[in-house]
């Protein structure tokens, strides 16, 4: 892509902001980011993300993207007056002998990916996070020191500020109602406020759960399935200060539970409930949907019993957020071959957002070494699959966690 060509990014959440940030870092200043909300209100699912950044994955591409993200988040936070990422590490607590044996295997797997890890005994794990590790059930834990906890809203603000200072433009309160194509090529977007056609040489969709709705308008299927997921907080704890976190993030793989500190509160999420798909709509302006006790109550009650900080704590906010899954759990990154000019950066979590942004920027500008083979993330890699197969396979990943539990 030539230096003078215009890139339009739709969506100013953590992924869209990351795309703009990395484009400007590579020297491309003709970048405009559109979002329906104002800069004071974080859009989409980014504001609902619990901010767990874990790098070790059975899928090497996800590990690479997460490592890239950690490097970016560390650099941004180190230069900021108010950091938004804390490299506190992660504990994956083993409550069965099988999981403890798996932890030893994960140390070797991590070494192959360049991610340091070691196995702690139960006492060491409890000492690192006494409020989050069940001393009676823990047999040990996998410790990954370079993982961390993020403030997704803060990270997005840092990415936006850095991109703006390098020349990117952010147009707030500018909802995109449709993509505009001419003779099979994307030429820009129509905004909902005035119907104005904003032209661009490349348009990058980074709109999370709304991506498939916009793409469908130009005949493109994005192979994503949106699912509901609960996350709950304790009420503020008077014995805690405003320090965002002073303990590792903690996961219980045997129980599909994860937990961390958020300043004066603790937060907890669980996958141990039946999968709940959600159908996106152009009229919905939030990724948060109603929380139904019947859907999540038993799973969260079990999770609260597992995590010491939640056993006697007064309940705080509870939320039901929607995020996207793909059939292979990898994000959708790169150009859409059937509609030249359209690119996507979709189905990515905060964990991988900065890595995805760098991948998109490097591909657009055709510069530098790509972190991941583009074919592994290509949006069209499931074009030969039926809608039903895409749906069932993607939802099956959530179902698999639920069944294993």
Residue 325's pLDDT is: 92
What strands lie across the sheet with 52-53, from one edge to the other?
A: 52-53, 148-150, 85-86
Nearest to 317 by CA among 346, 288, 285: 288
Q: pLDDT tens digit string along 248-293?
A: 999 999 999 999 999 999 999 999 998 999 887 766 777 888 899 9
d(CA 224, CA 82) in angstroms, rounded, equals 35
Beta bridge partner(s), residue 205: 10, 344
Are 41 and 153 in contact, with CB atoms under 8 Å apart? Answer: no
Where do the domains of the chain lie?
7-48+153-223+328-386, 88-147+225-325
Nearest to 254 by CA among 113, 129, 141: 141
Q: Which residues have CB under 8 Å from 309's CB, separation 6+?
A: 131, 132, 234, 237, 259, 266
User: How long a stretch of residues is the chain?
Assistant: 405
Residue 94's pLDDT is: 97
d(CA 10, CA 30) in angstroms, rounded, equals 14
Nearest to 401 by CA among 232, 208, 269: 269
Residue 81's pLDDT is: 87
**How many angstroms separate the Cα of 158 from the Cα of each of 49, 216, 244?**
16, 32, 17
Q: What are phi and psi of 338, to 5 degrees?
A: -80, -15
Quick count: other Cβ atoms within 10 Å of Cβ 263?
14
Residue 405's pLDDT is: 42
Are 91 and 251 in contact, with CB atoms under 8 Å apart? Answer: yes
* pLDDT tens for the chain, residues 1 to 405: 666 689 999 999 999 999 999 999 999 989 999 998 888 876 567 878 899 999 999 999 999 999 999 999 999 999 888 899 999 999 999 999 999 999 999 999 999 999 999 999 999 999 999 999 999 999 999 999 999 999 999 999 999 999 999 999 999 999 999 999 999 999 999 998 778 899 999 999 999 888 999 999 999 999 999 999 999 999 998 888 877 677 899 999 999 999 999 999 999 999 999 899 988 776 677 788 889 999 998 999 999 999 999 998 999 999 999 999 999 999 999 999 999 999 999 999 899 999 999 999 999 999 878 999 999 999 999 999 999 999 999 988 776 554 444
d(CA 381, CA 378) in angstroms, rounded, equals 6
Residue 47's pLDDT is: 78
| Strand 288-289, strand 197-199: pairing | unpaired
Nearest to 18 by CA among 132, 114, 158, 137: 158
d(CA 228, CA 397) in angstroms, rounded, equals 13
Q: pLDDT tens digit string along 88-102?
A: 999 999 999 999 999
Residue 43's pLDDT is: 56
- Flag whether the pTM goes above 0.85: yes
- For the structural domain made of 88-147+225-325, what CATH number should be given? 3.30.9.10
**Which of these CATH numbers, 3.50.50.60, 1.10.8.100, 3.40.50.720, 3.90.600.10, describes 7-48+153-223+328-386?**
3.50.50.60
Q: SS in 3 state form for the chain? A: CCCCCCEEEECCCHHHHHHHHHHHHCCCCCEEEECCCCCCCCCHHHHHCCCEECCCCCCHHHHHHHHHHHHHHHHHHHCCCCCCEECCCEEEEECCHHHHHHHHHHHHHHHHHCCCCEEEEHHHHHHHCCCCCCCCCCCEEEEECCCEEECHHHHHHHHHHHHHHCCCEEECCCCEEEEEEECCEEEEEEECCCCCEEECCEEEECCHHHHHHHHHCCCCCCCCEEEEEEEEEECCCCCCCCCCCCCCEEEECCCCEEEEEECCEEEEEECCCCCCEECCCCCCCCCEECCCHHHHHHHHHHHHHHCHHHHCCCEEEEEEEEEEECCCCCCEEEECCCCCCEEEEECCCHHHHHHHHHHHHHHHHCCCCCCCCHHHHCCCCCCCCCHHHHHHHHHHHHHHHHHHC
């Amino acid at each position: 892509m030539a230096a003078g060509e215009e890139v339009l990014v739709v969506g100013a959440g953590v992924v869209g902001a990351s795309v703009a940030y990395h484009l400007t870092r590579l020297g491309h200043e003709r970048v405009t980011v559109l979002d329906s909300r104002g800069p004071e209100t974080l859009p989409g699912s980014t504001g609902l993300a619990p901010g767990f950044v874990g790098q070790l994955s059975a899928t090497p591409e996800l590990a690479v993207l997460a490592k890239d993200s950690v490097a970016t988040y560390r650099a941004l936070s180190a230069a900021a007056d108010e950091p938004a990422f804390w490299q506190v590490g992660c504990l994956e607590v083993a409550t069965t002998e099988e999981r403890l044996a798996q932890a030893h295997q994960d140390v070797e797997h991590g070494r192959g990916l360049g991610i340091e890890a070691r196995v702690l005994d139960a006492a060491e794990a409890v000492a690192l996070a006494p409020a989050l590790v069940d001393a009676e059930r823990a047999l040990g834990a996998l410790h990954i020191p370079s993982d961390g906890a993020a403030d997704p809203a803060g990270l997005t603000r840092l990415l936006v500020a850095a991109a703006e200072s390098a020349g990117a433009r952010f147009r707030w309160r500018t909802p995109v109602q449709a993509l505009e194509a001419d003779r099979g090529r994307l030429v820009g977007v129509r905004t909902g406020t005035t119907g104005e056609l904003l032209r661009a040489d490349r348009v990058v969709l980074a709109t999370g759960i709304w991506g498939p709705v916009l793409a469908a308008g130009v005949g493109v299927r994005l192979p994503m399935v949106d699912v509901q997921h609960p996350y709950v907080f304790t009420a503020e704890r008077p014995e805690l200060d405003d320090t965002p976190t002073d303990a590792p993030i903690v996961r219980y793989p045997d129980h599909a539970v994860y937990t961390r500190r958020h300043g004066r509160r603790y937060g907890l999420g669980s996958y141990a409930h039946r999968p709940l798909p959600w159908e996106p709509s152009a009229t919905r302006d939030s990724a948060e949907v109603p929380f139904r006790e019947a859907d999540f109550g038993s799973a969260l009650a079990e999770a609260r019993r597992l995590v010491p900080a939640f056993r006697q704590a007064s309940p705080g906010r509870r939320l039901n957020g929607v995020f996207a899954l793909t059939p292979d759990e990898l994000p959708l990154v790169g150009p859409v071959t059937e509609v030249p000019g359209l690119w996507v950066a979709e189905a990515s979590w905060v964990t991988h957002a900065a890595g995805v942004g760098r991948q998109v920027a490097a591909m657009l500008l055709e510069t530098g070494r790509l972190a991941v083979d583009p074919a592994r993330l290509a949006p069209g890699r499931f074009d030969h699959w039926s809608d039903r197969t895409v749906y069932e396979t993607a939802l099956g990943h959530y179902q698999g966690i639920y069944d294993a539990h």
